[in-house]
Every structure is written in structure tokens, then in C-alpha cells.
Amino acid sequence: MKQSKSLNGNSNNSNNYNHNCNYSHSINSYAKGFKDGIPIGLGYLSVSVAFGMMAVNMGLPVWTAVLISMTNLTSAGQFAGIGLISVGASCLEMALTQLVINLRYALMSLSLSQKADQSINLLHRLLISFGITDEIFAVASGQPCEIGRRYMYGLITTPYFGWAIGTFIGAAASTILPATIRSALGIAIYGMFIAIIIPPAKQHRPVLKVLLISVAISFILRYTPLLNHLSGGFIIILCAIIASALGAKLFPLKEVE
């Protein structure tokens, strides 16, 4: 799930708050939401096929891969999750890794909470918040006015099922693939990570610097005697927190309102 989109969505959202929308202009049509969600769903289909293959490749049963997709609905978090499951990480490592990787959703959730109209009461907040992803957030926050619950449910529908169905297709297909191809698929997850991080790093110098700091710390922790006894999960958390804190300190965002 591309970060650049969510960032655009974030700034769009901020801009929208500068407009004075009438309450009557709240968007609350299931059909419109459904239509807006179709491109997201198609995009998810392809990524989730890779996730399903990856999961089965790492030794997970097909049905658990689908269960993960239906209960998590997140790309990087799920990929890291199956990585941790396959190396037998502890529940604490799993919880901390998910917290660090998915922390950005908290900001999106916070932002959407202010864009939600009165039709989204506590119960609907509990349900709709489950479907906040980078792309769903980007599209929702790109709407000119407040948004209603029917629009949000429509928007979440196709991406949710696209994600689950794609996972099943990938997981089922993986079991019939020859060993040489399954070996080649080992790099798929990393290829996707590179595709996510390189374009923004190319455009924004500070992102590149934070990325390099994190990678450098990762190498140091993994190959330094004693320190390399740390588990993979904790190394990722340490790298992310140190590099991001340095980035926030040295290159704070300018377009903050």
C-alpha cells in the first residue's frame, strides 16, 4: 500500500478543512463509495496474490493466510507478520512489530474521525475504523466534504474482498508450483518493499536519509557480535524508532499545519 498516496491524502484532507462545507454536502452514498473502491480493490488483488504465495511458501496453511488477510487488511504488517510467525517470534515481538509498522493508521484514523458526519456514531466508528488502509484513507479524505457511513462501507467493500480473494488465489496456486519457482518467490516480498520505498526516497532527500540510517543500523545490529543476538523483530523496531526519531528531529516536516 503506497505511502505516497496516503501522504497526498493527508494533505488533501488538511486542505479540505480550510473549506467551509455545508452540512448538507455530506457524501453518504453506498453506490458512490463502492465505485470509488473498485480501483483500490483491483490493486489489492494483485498484491494479495503475492501475499498468499509468500505465506504458503513460509509454511503457513492456505486457510490461515486467508484468515490473516480477512482479520488484518494491511500489506506491510501482514508480510512482517508471516515473517515473524515463520521464525517463531514471541507474541510480544509480534505486537510491537505490528504497532510500529501500523502506527501510521492511528494518524489516518484520527484525521478521518474529524471528517466523519453525524451518521457515523460510536458503533459505526468501531466498524469503519477496521477498514482504514493507506488507499482507503487517501480516497476518503480526498472527498470535498464530510463523509457518511454508507459511503465508507461502499468504499471498503471491494478492497476488503479483493484482498481476501487474492490471498486465497495466491495461497492455493503456490502449493502446485515447482521448487525452483518457489525459491525465486522468496525475493518477492522484498521486491515490493523496495518498490514502496524507492520512489519517495528519490523525490524527498530526508526520506532517503532516514531510509539509509535505518538500513545502516539494521546491518550494524545484525552483524555486530552480541548485538546480533537480538531477534529480527526487535532489530526492526529499534531501527525504525531510532531512524524516524532522528529524521523527525533533523528534518521536521515543513507542511505541517
Q: Which residue has the cell 539494521?
A: 218
CA distance 49 to 167: 5
- Minimum distance of another protein from residue 98's CB (angstroms): 4
Query: Residue 193: in which H helix or E strand, if any?
Result: helix 188-203
- Minimum distance of another protein from residue 102's CB (angstroms): 5
Single-letter amino acid, residue 90 = S
Q: What is the footprint of another protein within residues 104-143 (CB under 8 A)?
A: 104-114, 116, 122, 125-126, 128-130, 132
The nearer residue to another protein, 29 or 46, going by C-beta atoms, is 46
- Minimum distance of another protein from residue 159's CB (angstroms): 14
The nearer residue to another protein, 100 or 155, going by C-beta atoms, is 100
Q: How many residues bind another protein (CB under 8 A)?
A: 108
The nearer residue to another protein, 169 or 192, going by C-beta atoms, is 192
- Minimum distance of another protein from residue 32's CB (angstroms): 21
- Minimum distance of another protein from residue 243's CB (angstroms): 4
What size, in residues, is the chain?
A: 257
Among residues 95, 205, 224, 228, the one that binds another protein under rule CB under 8 A: 95
The nearer residue to another protein, 31 or 61, going by C-beta atoms, is 61
Q: What is the footprint of another protein within residues 202-241 (CB under 8 A)?
A: 202, 206-207, 210-215, 217-219, 222-223, 232, 235-236, 239-241
| By CB under 8 A, residue 74 contacts another protein | yes
Q: What is the footprint of another protein within residues 173-202 (CB under 8 A)?
A: 180-181, 183-202
CA distance 148 to 16: 16
Q: What is the footprint of another protein within residues 5-44 (CB under 8 A)?
A: 7
For residues 43 and 158, is the Cβ–Cβ distance under 8 A?
no
The nearer residue to another protein, 31 or 111, going by C-beta atoms, is 111
For residues 54 and 79, is the Cβ–Cβ distance under 8 A?
yes
Q: Considering only CA atoms, which of 60, 56, 73 is closest in space to residue 162?
A: 73
CA distance 180 to 194: 23
CA distance 156 to 152: 6
Single-letter amino acid, residue 107 = L
For residues 9 and 133, is the Cβ–Cβ distance under 8 A?
no
- Minimum distance of another protein from residue 29's CB (angstroms): 21
- Minimum distance of another protein from residue 22's CB (angstroms): 21
Instruction: Give the list of residues 6+ apart from residue 123 with CB closer than 8 angstroms, or none.
Output: none
The nearer residue to another protein, 27 or 60, going by C-beta atoms, is 60
CA distance 159 to 42: 7
The nearer residue to another protein, 31 or 191, going by C-beta atoms, is 191
